[in-house]
Amino acid sequence: MQVTTTWRQHVRPAVDALEPYVWEMSSDEVAARYGVPADQVIRFDTNTSPFLPVNLSDTLAALAAQMPLNEYPDTSYGELVRAIVDYTGFPAEQVVVGCGADEVLDMIAKVFLDEGKRAVVTSPSYGMYVVLTETYGATPIAVPDRAGFERDLEAIAAAAADADLAWLCNPNNPTANLIPLDGLTWLIERVSCPIVVDEAYFEFSGVTAAELIARRPQVIVVRTLSKAFSLAGLRVGYALAAPDVAAMVNRVRPPNSVGTLSVALGAAAVRDLATMRERVRMILAEKPRFVEALRPHVAEIHPSATNFFCFRAHNSAAAVESLLKAGIVVRDVSSKLGLANCLRPTVRLPKENDRFVAALAGGS
């Protein structure tokens, strides 16, 4: 008897209906389409560090001498966790490690979201919050920003009163603005459901909700080594949470999703705080120069508390095309609520930023 059903009939409705996260073109695609050598394409779209990792040669040499890649890494990620403990001051039982911050966010969603549940998401913000919420069958409750991308703390608190989880990016991606610690404290004191404070850019802003965890155990802080620590390619993220919450999230942690190299090099990077802090200082010092060089060629530039910023182009589509022709990839956020004609560049090295400005000026 012929089978007439197809695989698609078995896809979960929540996954079939969700709008997936969208990336910009790969460097190879840009090279092929615009005739730019792939190694000359500059990524201004990922908010990563323009600096390669340094001071990791000893770690690599030690691994190369006896690299047990045929075995799984230490299941507890002990070396990496100890480095995070030293860096954050949180004990090991309050640390959750994952394959990038995105896996940590996914673990949190697994714990708290399900069919019929609700999650608060400010808008505009990081697109994965909605993707994760809908993937697990929950309903995202959007809270639009006020004018100037100011987060509406009163509205967030009100929406969270009837929610199972709240997602909060601080500084926010893609708008680069920051809720100050007093505002963050005000909000967290009024939210009883779990609230995830995504601090991917903490090292650039210096503002953290971590100190609030002790008295508000529903707070979960998520961070990454992809940005300030220059390790985007190794995929290492972590969460800080109350002991019981961390234990619950660790129940759904995949075994060994962070590889041996990532554990060893991540631990080495976290222990080299001097390098990280000097590079953060250099990027933040370069940001005002980049902004001022760009200002004559755009309609508006919004304030930034991190290593990227958001600007309104006169014509975002034309600006993106001009940049791509020069081998420059920028994050196009113009389709997001309140961000018509807006683009989001990362602050990179001065010569790279100058190339960005020249390409945009030549096409304006």
pLDDT tens per residue across span 299-310 = 999 999 999 999
Tell me the mean pLDDT in the region 240-245: 97
Same domain, 295 and 346: yes
Q: What is the pLDDT of residue 47?
A: 95
Query: Domain holding 310: CATH number?
Result: 3.90.1150.10
**Residue 60 within any structural domain of the chain:** no
Q: What is the pLDDT of residue 204?
A: 98
Please check the confidence at residue 364 and state whether its pLDDT lies above 80. no
Q: What is the pLDDT of residue 323?
A: 97
Residue numbers of the domain that contains 338: 7-52+274-363
Q: What is the pLDDT of residue 23?
A: 83
The pLDDT tens digits of the residues spanning 173-191 come to 999 999 999 999 999 999 9
Report the alpha-carbon distance of residue 45 to residue 353 in Å, rounded. 13
Query: Domain holding 169: CATH number?
Result: 3.40.640.10
Last residue in a domain, options 242, 271, 300? 271
Q: What is the pLDDT of residue 281?
A: 98
Confidence band for 54, pLDDT divided at 50, 70 and 90:
confident
Measured at the CA of 287, the angle between CA 284 and CA 290, to 5 degrees, comes to 160
Q: What average pLDDT does the chain have?
A: 93
Residues near 137 by beta carbon (within 8 Å), at least 6 away in sequence? 12, 14, 113, 114, 115, 116, 117
Tell me the mean pLDDT in the region 14-33: 88
Residues near 289 by beta carbon (within 8 Å), at least 6 away in sequence? 350, 353
The pLDDT tens digits of the residues spanning 253-269 come to 998 899 988 999 999 99
- Tell me which of 24-28, 82-86, 156-160, 351-355 is least confident: 24-28
Last residue in a domain, options 225, 240, 271? 271
Tell me the mean pLDDT in the region 129-142: 97
Please check the confidence at residue 1 and state whether its pLDDT lies above 70. no
Q: What is the pLDDT of residue 21?
A: 82
Confidence band for 154, pLDDT divided at 50, 70 and 90:
very high
Q: What is the pLDDT of residue 5?
A: 67
Q: What is the pLDDT of residue 14?
A: 85
**Residue 191 within any structural domain of the chain:** yes
Same domain, 300 and 168: no
**Residue 2 within any structural domain of the chain:** no
Q: What is the pLDDT of residue 52?
A: 85
Closest listed residue to residue 142, CA positions, set 156, 161, 162, 128:
156
Last residue in a domain, options 214, 242, 271? 271
For residue 293, the tally of other CB atoms under 10 A from its CB is 17
As a three-state string, the secondary structure of the chain is CCCCCCHHHHCCHHHHHCCCCCCCCCHHHHHHHHCCCHHHCEEECCCCCCCCCCCCHHHHHHHHHCCCCCCCCCCCCHHHHHHHHHHHCCCHHHEEEECHHHHHHHHHHHHHCCCCCEEEEEECCCCHHHHHHHHCCCEEEEEECCHHHCCCHHHHHHHHCCCCEEEEECCCCCCCCCCCHHHHHHHHCCCCCCEEEECCCHHHHCCCCHHHCCCCCCEEEEEECCCCCCCHHHCCEEEECCHHHHHHHHCCCCCCCCCHHHHHHHHHHHHCHHHHHHHHHHHHHHHHHHHHHHHHHCCEECCCCCCECCEECCCHHHHHHHHHHCCEEEEECCCCCCCCCEEECECCCHHHHHHHHHHHHHHC
Same domain, 77 and 194: yes
- Tell me which of 33-42, 117-126, 199-208, 221-230 is least confident: 33-42
- The more confidently predicted of residues 362 and 201 is 201
Q: What is the pLDDT of residue 11?
A: 85
Q: What is the pLDDT of residue 3?
A: 57
**Residue 62 within any structural domain of the chain:** no
CB 186 within 8 A of CB 153: yes
